[in-house]
Chain A
Amino acid sequence: MVRSLGIWLLMGLVWSAEVALDLPDPCIPGAVMQASLTVTDPESQVTKVELPEVPGLTWQLGRTSSQTRVVNGQASSSLTVGINLRAAKAGTLEIPPITVRMRNGSALSTSATTLRVAPGEARLTGDLMGEVAFEPATIVPGESTTLTYRLWVRRGEVQTLGINPPEGAISLGERQIAKGRAFDAQGQEWTLLTVTWPLTFAEPGPRTVRGQQEVLISVGDGFFDQRVTRHQTAIAPATLTVASLPEVGRPADFTGLIGPVTATSALERERVSIGEGVVLSFTVSGRQVELVKRPALVIPGVQVYPKDEKAEGGHHVFRWDLVPTTPGNALVPALAVPYFDPAGKTYRNAVTQPLTLTILPGRARDLGAVGATSAEPAPVAVAPTGPTLPPPRHGQVTPRPAPWLAPAVFVGALIIGLAAGGWARRGPRQAHRGRALRTAGKDPAALATALLALRPALTTEAQRTAADRLQARIDGTRFGGQALGDIADLVTTLEVVP
């Protein structure tokens, strides 16, 4: 028991160490290339690396470097042994396992692998090269394409990309950046950056992408002689053609859906009783499926009530409540959704399979009481189903007041109220005393009354004199029997008194 546990522990220790061989791909024939052998977490010092003989390949060990990393408190070390190799001619070479001997007597081996020997990319010259392309280069509106920007950098640093999607592009996902390596004809290693954007466009027409790529290169010999230079390279433009959807063969109910599209339908249950509802689901899967409209559904012998619909995650689900009214088998027809197939450049239909709904006569039995059968079910009170459409008005409505009428009426009434209140505060106007004298005419009693009311308001000597003379005339008439005579002048003088 202890011995087997020890063996397992030893195997665990051995297995914690790993060795991996990293070969250049491709290996340029005739060029000296770099490979590396990395031992991770060696339990003991490496004493020997045995490079096997491979026909057509010359290789020898190079410089060694080690590294220790601590991640989340866990330390790991690695030893990297450089290998210089040169392949004689193009082809594929079988590389047998490489053995690494450890000081403690253990050994690690790599797996057998192959080495592809092929010419490097002759077009990689200078320090920077880029190309951009649309894949595919011709689409229809709504169809997806990928804008791919490949950038080879021999030396230097790229800070910003010189290519971006053209104006009007609709993004279908996140930009992806991948890093790799390539080799030129001389065997020099280049860094390959591949940037992709999934796009589509809503309107037909050509779209061109062009630009310049800048790379920063440090030049200078010594530490204090370093300076950064900028190098720019023009990127050859790429054109995407967004062709119009063909008019010929376009279905009348086409909603702009671009394939591939699938459609399925399913019943909640396949056997129901009359009057018992069942839900039918119709699912359309694909891209932009939110464009799909609810199809018309007619099933003889079944009342169909549209239910809810939901579109998310590339699926659009429509549901109906089906309530059968007659027993038998009801056929739920196949439902179709038209879409444009960009591969075949034609319109197609995503069609479901027809379904059969078996309708049993009578309502479902109440099995609550064993042995008892339910009598004629009591009518169920129908709950109110919600708001109903109002009846037409036929023009018979009370005219509505204009919006400005209410505030105008309020202001007008306020003014009237103020005026009324002000008039009430001032009191009734007194009669014009002078005119009352005129109105009295030749009536001595009325003249005496009017003159009496007038006296307190006399202001001038002439008015007072006229009042005295008139009073004398009136007294003479009333008490002396004399004629009143002409009093016009006197009345004229006094009638101006308010």
Chain B
Amino acid sequence: MIRVLALLGLLLGTGVAEDPYQTWAQGRPAEALPILIAQAGDHWDRWQDAGLAAAAAGDQGRAVACLARAMTLAPEEADPRRALRALGVECPPSWHERAGPLGLPGRGWSGVVLLALAGLALGWAAVGRRHRRSAGFLGAALVVVILPGQLAGVVDGQHHWAATVRPTHLLDHAGVPLAPLAAGTLLRLPDRAGWSGRVVVALPDGREGFLAAADVNP
């Protein structure tokens, strides 16, 4: 709803669309927030900026929800988790964090380049006429170096995160409240379909239940 209104505002604007970052810099982060959310799309950095703007505006719920979206889109990035921890949200360490410097070569574009080299080396080692052993060793070594980062990306990419944007209640399948949830409670979204406008969520302590979809949508 916020996104629709923000886009409508953009369309109906009489002149140049207002730069949300400029609005934010002028000390009005609350006014910049809807535009930042509307423009975020699938860009993790824009969701992170929206979360920071919400935090500056004092909206803890939306801040955590936007940062959770950034964390889902870019699990290898450290900034969304750092921002969540700065807001006092207990955030489980990612496998990228656990891998530490071992995971760096396998991440991002360096991982792509090294994988290309590994593929060439291993392909040559399989059927080439000369230097097969060296090529095989090089390819295997590159795979070993890349593997931690790539595996961390696969495992971290399986988790989808969200957060409550307002105080609400965790519900059971019948809609009976199970427990109150404060705004900004970090949640995991299991890969299961919800029903009747509700989504399945998992709390940090492992309990699962349902929440109204509007309660987790920034």
Looking at the assembled complex, report how far the CB atom of B130 sits from the nearest CB atom of chain A, in whole angstroms: 7
Residues of B within 8 A of A403 (CB): 153, 157
Residues of B within 8 A of A368 (CB): none
Looking at the assembled complex, report how far the CB atom of A134 sits from the nearest CB atom of chain B, in whole angstroms: 19
Residues of B within 8 A of A389 (CB): 52, 55, 82-83, 86-87
Residues of B within 8 A of A170 (CB): 176
Looking at the assembled complex, report how far the CB atom of A93 sits from the nearest CB atom of chain B, in whole angstroms: 54
Residues of A within 8 A of B215 (CB): none
CA separation between A394 and B32, bound complex, in Å?
Answer: 13
| A417-B124 CB under 8 A given contacts A409-B119, A412-B119 | yes
Looking at the assembled complex, report how far the CB atom of B74 sits from the nearest CB atom of chain A, in whole angstroms: 7
Q: Quick check: is B45 within 8 A (CB to CB) of the other chain?
A: yes
Looking at the assembled complex, report how far the CB atom of A452 sits from the nearest CB atom of chain B, in whole angstroms: 29
Produce 1/0 per residue, A418-462, CB < 8 A to B. Answer: 111110110000000000000000000000000000000000000
| A390-B21 CB under 8 A given contacts A401-B112, A417-B126, A425-B129 | no
Residue from A168, A390, A409, A420 in contact with B48 in the complex, judged by beta carbons closer than 8 Å: A390
Q: Quick check: is B100 within 8 A (CB to CB) of the other chain?
A: no
Produce 1/0 per residue, B90-109, CB < 8 A to A. Answer: 00000000000000000011
CA separation between A396 and B43, bound complex, in Å?
Answer: 11
| A291-B117 CB under 8 A given contacts A403-B153, A421-B127, A424-B128 | no
The answer on a CB contact under 8 Å between A400 and B119 is no
Residue from B24, B43, B86, B109 in contact with A386 in the complex, judged by beta carbons closer than 8 Å: B86
The answer on a CB contact under 8 Å between A416 and B123 is yes
Residues of B within 8 A of A416 (CB): 119-120, 123
Q: Quick check: is B209 within 8 A (CB to CB) of the other chain?
A: no
The answer on a CB contact under 8 Å between A421 and B182 is no
Produce 1/0 per residue, B122-138, CB < 8 A to A. Answer: 11111111101001000
CB proximity to B under 8 Å, residues A394-409: 394-398, 400-401, 403, 405-407, 409
CA separation between A159 and B118, bound complex, in Å?
Answer: 74
CA separation between A396 and B123, bound complex, in Å?
Answer: 37
Looking at the assembled complex, report how far the CB atom of B176 sits from the nearest CB atom of chain A, in whole angstroms: 6
Q: Quick check: is A414 within 8 A (CB to CB) of the other chain?
A: yes
CA separation between A217 and B176, bound complex, in Å?
Answer: 41
The answer on a CB contact under 8 Å between B49 and A293 is no
The answer on a CB contact under 8 Å between B115 and A410 is yes
Residues of B within 8 A of A392 (CB): 21, 24, 48-49, 52-53
Q: Which A residue sits closest to B110, measured CB to CB?
A: A401
Residue from A293, A415, A421 in contact with B128 in the complex, judged by beta carbons closer than 8 Å: A421
Residue from A291, A398, A418 in contact with B123 in the complex, judged by beta carbons closer than 8 Å: A418
Q: Quick check: is A388 within 8 A (CB to CB) of the other chain?
A: yes
Produce 1/0 per residue, A191-203, CB < 8 A to B. Answer: 0000000000011
The answer on a CB contact under 8 Å between A417 and B150 is no
Q: Which B residue sits closest to A141, measured CB to CB?
A: B177
Q: Quick check: is A393 within 8 A (CB to CB) of the other chain?
A: yes
Residues of A within 8 A of B120 (CB): 413-414, 416-417, 420
Produce 1/0 per residue, B149-165, CB < 8 A to A. Answer: 01001000100000000
| Residue in A291, A395, A405, A421 whose Cβ sees the most chain B Cβ within 10 Å | A421
A interface residues, tally (CB under 8 Å): 42
The answer on a CB contact under 8 Å between B85 and A386 is yes
The answer on a CB contact under 8 Å between A424 and B129 is yes
Looking at the assembled complex, report how far the CB atom of A274 sits from the nearest CB atom of chain B, in whole angstroms: 27
CA separation between A395 and B40, bound complex, in Å?
Answer: 10
Produce 1/0 per residue, A203-230, CB < 8 A to B. Answer: 1000000000000000000000000000
The answer on a CB contact under 8 Å between B112 and A409 is yes
Q: Which A residue sits closest to B91, measured CB to CB?
A: A387
Q: Quick check: is A411 within 8 A (CB to CB) of the other chain?
A: yes
CA separation between A416 and B128, bound complex, in Å?
Answer: 11
Q: Which A residue sits closest to B76, measured CB to CB?
A: A400
Q: Quick check: is B111 within 8 A (CB to CB) of the other chain?
A: yes
Residues of B within 8 A of A398 (CB): 108-109
Residues of A within 8 A of B176 (CB): 168, 170, 202-203
Residue from A291, A394, A406 in contact with B111 in the complex, judged by beta carbons closer than 8 Å: A406
Q: Quick check: is A303 within 8 A (CB to CB) of the other chain?
A: no
Produce 1/0 per residue, A290-304, CB < 8 A to B. Answer: 110100000000000
**Considering the complex of A and B, which 9 residue pairs feature the smallest CB-CB distances, nearest first?**
A417-B123, A413-B119, A421-B128, A421-B127, A414-B119, A393-B45, A418-B123, A417-B120, A410-B115
29 A-B pairs with CB atoms under 8 Å apart are A168-B174, A387-B85, A389-B55, A392-B49, A396-B45, A397-B44, A397-B45, A398-B108, A398-B109, A401-B109, A406-B111, A406-B112, A409-B112, A409-B115, A409-B116, A410-B116, A413-B116, A413-B123, A414-B122, A415-B119, A416-B119, A417-B128, A419-B123, A421-B123, A421-B127, A421-B129, A421-B132, A424-B129, A425-B128
- Give B residues with C-beta under 8 Å from A: 21, 24, 43-46, 48-49, 52-53, 55, 74, 79, 82-83, 85-87, 108-109, 111-112, 115-130, 132, 135, 150, 153, 157, 167, 174-177, 179-180, 182
- Give A residues with C-beta under 8 Å from B: 168, 170, 202-203, 255, 290-291, 293, 386-390, 392-398, 400-401, 403, 405-407, 409-422, 424-425
